[in-house]
Structure formats: C-alpha cells, structure tokens
C-alpha cells in the first residue's frame, strides 16, 4: 500500500527532475520536428542531436539528485509511480480496479490531476521521468528487491 508520504515524495522528485529535464525534452521535440521527413540533416542539427544524447546520459545524475532530495530510492520511486498509475487506471472505469488496494484507489482519487500529469493522460511529458527512473533503476539490484523481484538475481 502506498502512503501519502510516498506520494508527496514521488511528486516532489518528479517535479524536481522535470524542472531540469523539460528544456532538454522540448529541444529534442523541436529537433525531431525539424528533422521529420528530411533526408540530409544540417551539421547544426546533427550536433544538436549529439548534445541531446549527452543530456540523456546526464539525466541519470539529475534523477539521482531529485531522488536524494526527496529521500527516495529508485526502487521506491518506481514502485510508487507504478502503483499510483495502476490505481489511476483502475479509477478510469475500465474495470481494472480488481486487486488494487482500496487505500491506493483513495490516493489515486485524491491526486487524480497530479497522476494524470505524470501518466501521460493530460498530454504532459512528465511520464518521461518515471520511464527514465525505470531504465536507470533497473540496473540497480536494490530496485529489483524493492519491486519484490530480487529472485531475478538468484537469491
């Protein structure tokens, strides 16, 4: 069951990371739109692409800093985010609320707008933060353990 404290820290970490990553995401989106349908990108477009690859690697540091400020491990962050988005989906009337703790459904109702902003429902790109956390965090054994999947390590 997700606690209100975890929800608050999850949103704080998401927002802190998004504040740094949003300009990069916007630049990457603009670059992608400029390059759409072009066969021969300009040198400046290629350099912009290379710069964004470097920023992608830097996103791990940004995320680590946001998690540290919010006192969350990557495993707790991913678990909380997945639990909230699952509960949010369960509230949508799709009949998928089965197996979701009532406490999580109540939190999803209480934070409906905030969850929509990080789940991609409202067109917001903050869902990228959860995706980055999953990608970077899955390399960490503690993340697997926090998700209850430590048997993948043969222990």
pLDDT for 33: 79
**Contacts (Cβ under 8 Å, ≥6 apart) of 20:** 62, 66
Q: How confident is the model at residue 86 (pLDDT cuts 50, 70, 90)?
A: confident
For 1-17, what is the mean pLDDT?
94
Residue with tokens 């949003």: 22
Backbone angles phi, psi at 9, to 5 degrees: -70, -35
Q: How confident is the model at residue 50 (pLDDT cuts 50, 70, 90)?
A: low
pTM of the model: 0.73
3-state helix, strand, coil in the chain (%, to 5): 75, 0, 25
């Amino acid at each position: 069951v997700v606690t209100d404290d975890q929800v608050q820290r999850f949103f704080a970490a998401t927002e802190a990371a998004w504040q740094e990553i949003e300009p990069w995401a916007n630049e990457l989106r603009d670059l992608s739109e400029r390059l759409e349908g072009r066969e021969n990108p300009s040198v400046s477009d290629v350099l912009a692409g290379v710069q964004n690859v470097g920023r992608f690697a830097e996103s791990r540091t940004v995320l680590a800093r946001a998690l540290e400020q919010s006192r969350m491990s990557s495993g707790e962050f991913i678990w909380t985010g997945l639990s909230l988005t699952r509960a949010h989906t369960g509230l949508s009337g799709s009949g998928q609320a089965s197996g979701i703790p009532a406490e999580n459904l109540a939190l999803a109702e209480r934070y409906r707008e905030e969850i929509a902003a990080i789940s991609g429902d409202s067109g917001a790109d903050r869902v990228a933060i959860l995706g980055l956390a999953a990608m970077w965090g899955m390399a960490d054994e503690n993340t697997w353990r926090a998700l209850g999947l430590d048997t993948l390590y043969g222990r």
